[in-house]
Structure 1
Amino acid sequence: MNLGDQLAQQALTTGKRAILAATPPDTVRLAITLPDDSVQHFERRASGNENDWRATEFATPGAGCIFDEPVTAEWGRGLNALTLAR
């Protein structure tokens, strides 16, 4: 399993809430709050599908890091489901 999938799996299985974050019109950005109140972001093109998600910014109080890791369709389908539910 690649890093993007690991981040998506953790977010989808342990996340407390998900919101669509403000982005340019051609981007979908999903922010998932984890149990420790850190936030993992995922992005894809607005015209994209489950194959186009990428794990991006990770923010935690006092720290953070930036990723640009692909997420496979297996976990991308879960991210898509959350965006449709919003």
Structure 2
Amino acid sequence: MGDQLTQDAIATGPRTRLHESGPEAPLRLTILLPDEGALLFRRPPNGTCADWRVADFESPGGGCLFDEPVSATWGRALDHLAKRHLNP
């Protein structure tokens, strides 16, 4: 389920946002979706591409919590998106 959610978000999400956090805090990346929703992903601060998880879905009509793993394949895509924010 985590891979499917990630794939859909990357394919349709027009914008991403990396949340500022301290060195001990998880890396948090949000993909904003075309329907005004957002999918939030988390990774430990020193984690690898295999450590990403789908964390939350937010939308104007509500949302839901997730704790779904993302495979390293899709985690690499999330790493790439996060690094774009860290090294513009």
- TM-score with structure 2 setting the length: 0.90
Provide structure 2 residue ranges, at least 5 long, that are not aligned to the other structure.
Answer: none
CA distance in 1, matches of 2:55, 2:9: 12
CA distance in 2, matches of 1:8, 1:30: 11
Provide structure 1 residue ranges, at least 5 long, that are not aligned to the other structure.
Answer: none
The alpha carbon displacement at 1:24 in A equals 5.2
Write the deviation string for residues 15-59 of structure 1: whole angstroms up to 9, x where unpaired. 110011244543100000011110000000010010000001100
Q: Could you tell me the percent identity over the aligned residues?
A: 46
- TM-score with structure 1 setting the length: 0.92
Determine whether 1:5 maps to 2:3.
Answer: yes
Q: Give the number of aligned pairs.
A: 84
CA RMSD of aligned residues (A): 1.1
Partner-residue secondary structure (3-state), 1:81 = helix
Partner-residue secondary structure (3-state), 1:47 = coil
Partner-residue secondary structure (3-state), 2:11 = helix
CA distance in 2, matches of 1:23, 1:58: 20
